[in-house]
């Protein structure tokens, strides 16, 4: 695997990311020597953040994840405490370039806007409900610089589920409102658009 060194010595319990690395490398190649800012919505154990920070050596990233903050399900909250610990350990060597924001994206993204953050890449991979994906895209779009990329994960995820329970309808609805304001860069399991 070409980018295996990025993950050496790190701890993960799953891999939902590596199959995207070749696509990301192709799309992000023009940014390799630039000092860019990335917003990642949904970070889990940090595997995708590690790819971005290694592949883009002059980049910085803001990682937004609830890590099940304020979850009423105590068992799930305990599991996610371990996920957050792995995230922290996996990204420790990038502390100067990685900012973790713990909480709901609907709360954090507006705060980033007020604080003046702008991004060259936005990776939308948080909650999978259509309304939440739509909301994440709509809130982060104004923070995306012209010519920046918005990467939607799980576009083709679980077609057997209802429209409300999967990302695609939310992504389609959002992009329907953005007609003429983006160009499609990739259409597959991930959908990638460039803001124009």
Model confidence over 147-178: pLDDT tens digits? 999 999 999 988 888 888 899 999 999 999 99
Contact 130, 169 (CB under 8 A): yes
Fold of 25-195: Rossmann fold (3.40.50)
User: pTM higher than 0.85 for the full model?
Assistant: yes
The whole-number pLDDT of residue 107 equals: 96
User: Which is it for the CA torsion 157, 149, 54, 115, positive or negative?
Assistant: negative
pLDDT higher than threshold 80 for residue 76:
no
- d(Cα 100, Cα 117) in Å, to the nearest integer? 14
Extended beta strands in the chain, E state: 37-41, 60-65, 98-102, 119-124, 144-152, 182-187, 191-195
The whole-number pLDDT of residue 183 equals: 98
DSSP state of 63: E
The whole-number pLDDT of residue 2 equals: 80
Q: What is the mean pLDDT of the chain?
A: 93
| Domains of the chain, residue spans | 25-195
Model confidence over 124-155: pLDDT tens digits? 999 899 999 999 999 999 999 999 999 999 99
């Amino acid at each position: 695997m070409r980018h295996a060194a990025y993950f050496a010595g790190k701890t993960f319990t799953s891999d939902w990311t590596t199959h995207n690395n070749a696509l990301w490398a192709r799309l992000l190649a023009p940014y390799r020597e630039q000092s860019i800012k990335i917003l990642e919505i949904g970070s889990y154990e940090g595997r995708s953040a590690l790819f971005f920070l290694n592949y883009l050596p002059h980049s910085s990233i803001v990682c937004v994840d609830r890590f099940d903050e304020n979850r009423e399900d105590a068992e799930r909250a305990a599991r996610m405490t371990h996920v957050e610990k792995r995230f922290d350990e996996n990204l420790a060597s990038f502390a100067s370039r990685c900012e973790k924001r713990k909480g709901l994206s609907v709360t954090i993204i507006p705060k980033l806007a007020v604080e003046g953050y702008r991004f060259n890449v936005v990776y939308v991979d948080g909650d999978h409900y259509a309304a939440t994906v739509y909301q994440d895209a709509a809130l982060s779009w104004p923070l995306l610089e012209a010519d920046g990329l918005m990467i939607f994960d799980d576009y083709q995820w679980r077609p057997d589920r209802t429209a409300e329970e999967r990302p695609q309808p939310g992504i389609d609805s959002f992009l329907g409102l953005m007609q003429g304001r983006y160009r499609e860069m990739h259409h597959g399991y991930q959908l990638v658009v460039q803001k124009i």
